[in-house]
């Protein structure tokens, strides 16, 4: 066993970074045995050096992350700063100075993953990022390594704990969106500004990363269709329950039937209670992977939080450290297929549409004719009326998003349609 320690620079020491430092310290002996050499926390780069960080030697604290990376003795950098800059520059600097990188930065990887992978390859270093997608859940490495010999056709999952907590509370208690969000905020599941979560930006970044791995093609954040969940209502959940469904904010990645393109999208969807994802409660994450040979696989666990995310970071640290000792690197970017990402208009799925209509004869016929004229087949219709007003709930067979959009625009022009109360996709069947 090598006795000279591998030196680690920790870039960022917030909720995740402080847990990484704690585990490195408390599990030092175990990590040494698993790696084959000691790992030593050699420096911690932070913005606020005056903050007390329990368990971390103050002598390790610095505000100059660049100088830490350039000092010449760092073997591995752990980046848990988040955001685009200065994280991007620091990771590039690390590669240029012979340092492998472990990152939890989903936003940066979704936006500039290709460039970072290229820089890592140019300098013969590792870039690992298990913690960027689903917290403690082993997902990136199984997809990148365990399923490397298989063909993944579809990935569908809950990849944001905050949104799952909110939707679960709306489903189980009948609470409205704002009430459920307030509870999530009080419990620390939601940030003071929850926009990144509830509008789907966080999930979209993770979807881009997963799509690239699953389909061996480059998928950027801008390629991912994104729709938030702020408009989901108690009435939507009532409709879902009548269909034997619940509602989840899903990341859905699919290979086209002809294998010539892929799609990537994030949006709320109704899924049958019989689907494994329907039972995912509270702030947990779960990802359902469909592969040609392996079949259907489900990965489940806590998708956020300091300790769970730190667990994924430390797993990557062990792998990268082993590679360092072996003078090798792990798998890099695999983008050989260069498949195009199809626009949302070409995505085919089922839809649940709730309309406010006049309660008079002929309304249903008008609505059905409009659907038919746009090539959208109706599966079921439910109508309720009172005092001259009525609600009409239509569930379609599978149709392209563009066809459904055209149908809805035509419906809005009908004199008998007062408004479109909600539109939601139906998945998992």
Q: State how far the Cα of 412 lies from the Cα of 415, in Å rounded to an integer.
A: 8
Q: Which among 372, 373, 380 has a CA at the least distance from the CA of 351?
A: 380
Nearest-5° angle of CA 382, CA 383, CA 385? 160
Contact in structure between 161 and 189 (CB atoms under 8 Å): yes
- Which of 170-179's residues contact partners 24+ apart within 8 Å by CB, and which partners? 170/232, 170/234, 170/237, 170/247, 171/237, 171/240, 171/246, 171/247, 172/281, 174/234, 174/237, 175/234, 176/233, 176/234, 177/229, 177/230, 177/232, 177/233
What's the token pair of residue 183? Answer: 């509870």
Q: Which of 169, 206, 248, 324 is catalytic?
A: 206
Strand partners, 137: none
CA angle 211, 146, 327 (to 5 degrees): 100
Q: Which residues pair with 246 in a beta bridge?
A: 271
Residue carrying structure tokens 């034997």: 244
Tokens representing 428 are 């998992």
Q: Give the number of other CB atoms < 10 A from CB of residue 185.
A: 15
Mention every residue, 6+ apart, whose C-beta is less than 8 A from residue 17.
Answer: 10, 11, 44, 78, 80
Give the contacts of 154 (CB within 8 A, at least 6 positions apart).
252, 253, 254, 255, 289, 290
State yes or no: is 324 an active-site residue. Answer: no
Q: Beta partners for 11?
A: 45, 79
The answer to whether residues 233 and 270 touch, using CB atoms and an 8 Å cutoff, is no
Instruction: Assess contact for 11 and 108: CB atoms under 8 A.
Output: no
Residues marked as catalytic = 206
């Amino acid at each position: 066993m090598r006795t000279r320690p591998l030196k680690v620079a920790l870039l960022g020491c917030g909720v995740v970074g402080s847990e990484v430092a704690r585990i490195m310290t408390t599990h030092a002996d175990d990590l040494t045995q698993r790696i084959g050499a000691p790992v030593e926390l050699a420096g911690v780069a932070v913005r606020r050096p005056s903050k007390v960080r329990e368990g971390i030697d103050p002598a390790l604290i610095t505000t100059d992350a660049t100088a830490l990376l350039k000092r010449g003795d760092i073997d591995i950098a752990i980046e848990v700063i988040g955001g685009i800059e200065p994280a991007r520059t620091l990771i590039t600097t690390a590669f240029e100075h012979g340092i492998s990188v472990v990152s939890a930065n989903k936003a940066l990887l979704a936006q500039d993953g290709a460039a970072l992978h290229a820089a890592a390859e140019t300098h013969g270093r590792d870039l690992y990022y298990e913690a960027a997608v689903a917290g403690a859940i082993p997902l990136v490495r199984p997809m990148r390594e365990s399923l490397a010999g298989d063909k993944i056709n579809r990935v569908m999952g809950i990849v944001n704990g905050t949104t799952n907590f909110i939707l679960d509370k709306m489903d189980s208690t009948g609470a409205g969106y704002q009430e459920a969000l307030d509870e999530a905020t009080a419990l620390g599941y939601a940030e003071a500004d929850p926009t990144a979560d509830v509008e789907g930006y966080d999930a979209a970044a993770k979807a881009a990363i997963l799509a690239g791995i699953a389909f061996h093609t480059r998928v950027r954040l801008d390629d991912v269709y994104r729709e938030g969940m702020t408009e989901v209502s108690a009435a939507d959940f009532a409709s879902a329950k009548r269909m034997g469904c619940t509602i989840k904010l899903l990341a859905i990645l699919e290979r086209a039937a002809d294998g010539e393109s892929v799609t990537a999208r994030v949006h709320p969807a109704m899924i049958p209670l019989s689907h494994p994802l329907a039972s995912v409660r509270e702030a947990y994450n779960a990802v359902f992977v469909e592969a040609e040979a392996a079949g259907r696989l489900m990965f489940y666990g806590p998708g956020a939080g300091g300790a769970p995310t730190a667990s994924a970071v430390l797993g990557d640290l062990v792998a990268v450290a082993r590679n360092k000792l072996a003078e090798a690197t792990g798998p890099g970017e695999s983008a050989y297929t260069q498949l195009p990402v199809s626009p949302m208009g070409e995505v085919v799925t089922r839809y649940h549409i709730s309309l406010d209509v006049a309660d008079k004869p002929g309304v249903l016929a008008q609505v059905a004719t409009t659907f038919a004229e746009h090539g959208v087949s109706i599966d079921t219709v439910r109508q309720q009326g009172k005092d001259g007003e009525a609600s009409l709930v239509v569930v379609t067979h599978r149709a392209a998003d563009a066809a459904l959009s055209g149908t809805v625009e035509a419906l809005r022009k009908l004199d008998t349609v007062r408004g479109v109360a909600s539109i939601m996709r139906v998945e998992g069947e």
